[in-house]
Amino acid sequence: MADASTAVLTIDLAAIAENYKILTEQVAPATCGAAVKADAYGLGAAMVAPVLHRAGCEHFFVATLDEALALRPILATSKIYILNGLPSGAAAILAAENLIPVLGTLAQIAEWGSFCRANLPRPAALMIDSGMSRLGLSEGDMMRLAADPASLQGVPVVHVMSHLACSDDEKSPMNVKQLTLYQALVTGFPWPEGVKPTLGMAASSGCFLGTDYHFDLVRPGAALYGLEPMIGHPNPMRPVIGLEGKILQIRDVDLGMTVGYGASHQFRGRSRLAVIGVGYADGIFRSLGNRGAVFVAGERAPIVGRISMDLMTADIGHLPSASVHVGDAVEIIGPHQSVDDLARDAGTIGYEILTALGSRYLRRYHAPGTHPTGGMPA
């Protein structure tokens, strides 16, 4: 049950819809899909996916079968791709729910092909490893497939994708290297008769590398949720989340006093502390201790001492006493500090901040055309 001290996470669904529009225009005439894996990057796939669908999205990408099964009742007719591939023995489940496995090994292709030939043809996608050395078919695998076209009989391959390693850096030579290999592997591949898959390799950052990287279908994720897609460029995306903690206590401190575990911060004179009711259990990384900041009454207040499980402390000695009170909201993410700003202070990336958001927040969703709506902590 939320109370007056509960931290509030605001999620602007209208901004997500606007970001989808921005990306759709950026990659036209290619089709824009959406990555909603990891519970829509921590923001709630059950709330986010319908908004994207209403905005025109028909291609949704998740990581796991469980994520796909949770989305299917919400997205009854949309294409849902499982990026982690075909779980062993799960072909019948995917077929029953009309889910599309992204096959990344010859063994997965063999299992899906065997199922399809014994039952009915079912669509699949292929993942080509063009340089990430993670999931996907190697160059050698693609050559073996080309030499054995029968292995794809009964498997309507609807999409062939790859994944860029350095797309947030437009100057990286890795981009051209991967593009060249991907094009070489898909051009002239002997697809079975009647199969003409769409192509794609761009996620969020790849959408901004130019038309050579767009192909037929892109699958942005982070940019939809407001993260900056390109290094060294202004962020073209609309901010999506706001995060506010509440001040639980205000303390006077003096010369020589310390704060928090390990006594890692010692005061050099008189000051005042705001004790804020969020901690690393809520996704506020411990690495922000003594290096990050929050904003109190619109002013920057450095985080002092270590972040603990449920609490953090900020130095507010420079603010007038009358401007700060117990119960006041403290901006952790908002107009003064983006997700990416907070991530840089924490020594990480915005993706990790979003997906680490804890379960104790009161989540308030701002749907397109409505006022913010309250929700139970989720």
SS (H, E, C) 258-327: EECHHHCEECCCCEEEEEECCCHHHCCCHHHCCCCEEEECCEEEEECCCCCCCCEEEECCCCCHHHCCCC
Query: Which helix or strand (DSSP H or E) is residue 214 part of?
Result: none
pLDDT score of 40: 98
pLDDT score of 2: 67
pLDDT score of 370: 55
Read off the pLDDT of residues 159-217 as tens digits, 9 standing for 90 and up. Answer: 999 999 999 999 999 999 999 999 999 998 998 887 899 999 999 999 999 999 999 99
pLDDT score of 35: 98
What angle is formed at CA 65 by the lines to CA 63 and CA 71, rounded to 5 degrees?
Answer: 85
Q: Which domains does the chain possess?
A: 13-225 (3.20.20.10), 241-337 (2.40.37.10)
pLDDT score of 329: 97
pLDDT score of 371: 47
pLDDT score of 304: 98
208 residue type, one letter: F
Asked if the peptide bond before residue 29 counts as cis, ω within 30 degrees of 0, the response is yes
pLDDT score of 369: 63
pLDDT score of 242: 98
Strand pairing report for 329-333 and 265-266: unpaired
Per-residue CA distances from 333 to 39, 117, 275, 302, 357 (Å): 20, 52, 17, 14, 12
pLDDT score of 352: 98
Q: Quick one: how far is CA 322 from the chain centroid?
A: 40
130 residue type, one letter: S
**Selection from 353, 325, 327 nearest residue 242 by Cα:** 353
Q: Tokens 């050698």 identify what position?
A: 140
Largest CA distance in the chain: 80
Question: With a cut of 50, which residues of the chain have pLDDT below it?
Answer: 371-378
pTM, 2 dp:
0.94
Q: Quick one: how far is CA 291 from the chain centroid?
A: 25
The number of beta carbons lying within 10 Å of the beta carbon of residue 149 is 14
Please identify every residue annotated as catalytic. 37, 261
**Selection from 96, 110, 183 nearest residue 144 by Cα:** 110
Assign 3-class secondary structure to 216-262: CEECCCHHHHCCCCCCCCCCCCCCCEEEEEEEEEEEEECCCCEECHH
